[in-house]
Structure 1
Amino acid sequence: MSACPDKALLIHGLLDGELDAVNAAACEAHLKTCEGCNAEYQRLVALRETLSAPSVAHRAPERLRANIEAMIASEATPQPQPRHGRRTAGYAATGALGALMAAGLAVFVVLPQVADNGLERQLVASHVRSLLANHLTDVATSDQHVIRPWLNGKVDVAPPVPELAPEGFPLVGGRLDYIDGRVAPAIVYRRRAHTVNLFVWPDDRRLVNGAKTVRRDGYTVVEWTAGGLRYAAVSDIDPGDLQHFKAVFEAHSPDPSH
């Protein structure tokens, strides 16, 4: 019997001591009733113990140590200076400056991506918590005219809440969550037996390229921006289905420019 796909993230979190008290208790209770998840947890515990055993460590051969020391000694031997030493030094300095500039540019380019990766982990964690902690909705209704007034005054955005049941995504309700350092609405839809959490918050940082799709820990995150808002749909459904959800959501949402 295999482990539940939607519990993989929680099992690893429990093993690493990263869950809060509520989710840790919920995960431990699940392990007592699910043979597949309990077997996977015990397998990970045994693997950790095996890898931490002293006998697993491998000592490099003495010949390798001798070769490395010989290479270090040869590098330390003074080399004859070229005739145009100053020019060579100038080229070296220029090369070093270029390397520093390239490194700075790399940091500039990579940091936003790292930040987004952290945000996507946060989105997946919020999605999983909503399924475990019996807090999927604060207001359970399929009436879009109930959810929007309920959100009014609680958050600083007013997202569209279209009813998508004819498209295969019935509306379930809404709740308040905490995303990217602020309270944000989560609009909840269903896709057959699966849940789709749609998180919405102001588009302060301007999503690069307008939209992207990411797979993380068995879940798909589809992000896009529209009308000054940033959207992130999270679910364990097929990525193509989640892209279809994005398309029908946009098609049935009012044009923010009107």
Structure 2
Amino acid sequence: MDHEQAFELLPGYIDEELSLSESLEFERHLASCERCKHAYEQQRQVIMQLRQNDLRLDAPPELVKRIRAALPVQRSWWQRVASRLGGVSGFGGTGRTSGTGGTLGWAPVGAMVVSLVALTWSAGLYLSLPAGDTHLTQELVDSHVRSLQFDHLYDVISTDRHTVKPWFDGKIDFAPPVIDLAQQGYPLVGGRLDYLNGHAVAVMVYRYKLHPINLYVWPGSEAGATPHIYERQGYHLAHWSAAGMNYWAITDAGESELNGFVTNLRAHSAS
């Protein structure tokens, strides 16, 4: 890593936005480069000073009062429900009817029922996850989004599994299976290191059309050989284990596309 690359990564390192491999490479450069070490210390001191309490300015009490008076009154959920029910015929006696005799006041109740059904359905999806996987799935979603937002999708870019697999040698203490699924419509495009569930994991990156698929792999003997597909925050996740490895796949593609990826991957692994 040269000075130019180090200066580009410095803000991301300070904000803890780098991938595991990028952080390790940056730290190795920092240990042997006084110029970059000085730049890092300068930025760190600036951030520490900006976080000091004496730089904060309290607004005058009169200004605070005016701002609070201008804000809309925040009512509780039950208060809003009671307010809507109060305008419905039969609840408070203030219902209004249209010219055809229909009751207009029932419209808010219908909307409220639809909202409650949607809320119940969403809660059911969330609670369908095993208790031990809830925190892990959030980590996976965060990692997937972070890899897309900060252009950290790959540490090694290659469609050749014989290039991607050796890249992990010496970086982790296990050899992840790297499978090419280009003929099945899920080409391998690269790999990276990530930190998940308390330890370093291998990530193989595939694509389905324009949809990236992150496949996280690490050793383990968890039960769950049969894949399960979940949905969280608009992403689909699949989880299974095989041959002493844990597998988690995540993508913004649809459930059927992810299921096709998992089916092809498992069939290829078993062959």
TM-score by length of 2: 0.53
Aligned to 2:229: 213
CA distance in 2, matches of 1:193, 1:141: 17
CA distance in 2, matches of 1:229, 1:190: 22
Q: CA RMSD in A?
A: 2.7
CA distance in 2, matches of 1:154, 1:242: 28
Aligned to 1:86: none
* Contact 1:202–1:230 (CA under 8 A) maintained in structure 2: yes
Aligned to 2:208: 191
Distance 1:55 1:241, change over 3 A: closer
Distance 1:114 1:154, change over 3 A: same
- Cα distance per residue 1:176-228 (max 9 Å; x no partner): 01111101010000100110000001124x13464311100000000110100
Distance 1:153 1:237, change over 3 A: same
User: Any residues of structure 2 matched to 1:140-179 within 5 Å, and which?
Assistant: 140-179=157-196
Aligned to 1:238: 254
Is residue 223 from structure 1 mapped to residue 239 from structure 2 by the alignment? yes
Aligned to 1:30: none
* Contact 2:224–2:241 (CA under 8 A) maintained in structure 1: no
Per the TM alignment, residue 53 of structure 1 is displaced from its structure 2 partner at its CA by: 4.4
> Which of 185, 200, 209 does residue 217 from structure 2 map onto?
200
Name the amino acid aligned to 1:168.
G
Q: 3-state SS of the aligned residue for 1:198?
A: strand
If asked which structure has higher relative contact order (CA below 8 Å, sep 6+), I would say 1
User: Number of aligned pairs?
Assistant: 158
> Which of 136, 147, 151 does residue 119 from structure 1 map onto?
136
Name the amino acid aligned to 2:243.
G
Identical amino acids, percent of aligned pairs: 40
Distance 1:22 1:203, change over 3 A: closer
Unpaired runs of at least 5, structure 1: 1-19, 24-48, 62-109
Is residue 136 from structure 1 mapped to residue 153 from structure 2 by the alignment? yes
Q: 3-state SS of the aligned residue for 2:132?
A: helix
CA distance in 2, matches of 1:229, 1:208: 11
Unpaired runs of at least 5, structure 2: 1-14, 19-67, 83-126
CA distance in 2, matches of 1:194, 1:133: 16
CA distance in 1, matches of 2:74, 2:153: 47
Distance 1:156 1:134, change over 3 A: same
